[in-house]
Amino acid sequence: MEQKPTVLPKRTELHMARSMCWHCQSEVTGEYFCEQCVKVQPLSKELDYFTCLGLPRLLNIDLEALEAKFYTLSRSFHPDFYHNKTDSEQAISLGNSALLNIAYRTLKDPIQRAEYLLKLEAGSAKDIRTSPPADLFEEILALQEDLEEYRQAAPSQNQAALEPLKAKLASDREQLEQRQREMELRLADLFNAWDLLHAQAESAPVDDRLRKERETILKGLRELLSNRTYLRNIITDLVAVMA
């Protein structure tokens, strides 16, 4: 699905890509149902997840409100309630429910939400990182040496001789997890920065400064997200080896 990046939306409007009811051909003014014939309308394929769930494109989300909206829309769209309806309506209900479920899952999780926002705003999703991020280089190198040593020693040696190595790996893990926590904090900062920018763009004309700021935040997000994934994989590996 191709998504058009917005140049900082002035306000989130609910734009359905259609304007005519598929059933009675009257102009659709209602949100999800035709006001003339009360038939359910298909959600546009271009509809982004934020719009689908009636949310502005912010990174801090009120999860309670998100859930409430999801439940309300589920009651509107779920196939259970279209059992006695026509085939066309059943097909729409199925498609809308599927889109809604995916939208909700994506936005509920902060990381998936941020990744999705990046895709919307900057075109592509995350980079897949294969080499360690610069500021983690030393730690990762040290860890890899320790891990290698442990892998070679573990099958042959007795448990007592392994203890110092184990302790070292445990402290490596501790350090990495500390870095992970730092990353979460920085991520939270970026979330706030994005939302603040969003608010500024709503109340003032979008100028070069805002545009530049937007680029910086998105770049920061992208980098942080890929570093985070990298680090998480390393820790998962470490835990697996030690188990």
**Binding footprint of other proteins on the chain (CB under 8 A):** 1, 67, 71, 74-75, 78-81, 83-84, 94-95, 97-98, 101-102, 104-105
Nearest distance from residue 110's CB to other proteins, in Å?
Answer: 12
Shortest separation between residue 63's beta carbon and other proteins, angstroms: 12
Nearer to other proteins, 84 or 203 (CB): 84
> Which residue, 112 or 157, is less far from other proteins as judged by CB?
112
Helices (DSSP H) in 42-136: which residue ranges? Answer: 49-52, 63-77, 87-108, 110-122
Residue ranges with strand state E in the chain: none
Q: Rank residues 107 and 143 by Cβ distance to other proteins and give the closer one.
A: 107
β-pair partners for 20: 27
Q: Would you say 17 or 161 has its CB closer to other proteins?
A: 17
Q: Compute the distance between CA of residue 164 and CA of residue 101 in angstroms, rounded to an integer.
A: 49
The answer to whether 186 touches 224, Cβ cutoff 8 Å, is yes
Contacts of 114 (CB under 8 A, 6+ apart): 59, 187, 191, 221, 225
- Decide whether 71 or 137 has the Cβ nearer to other proteins: 71
Minimal distance, residue 100 CB to other proteins, in Å: 9
What single-letter DSSP state applies at residue 5? P
Least distance to other proteins from the beta carbon of 103, Å?
11
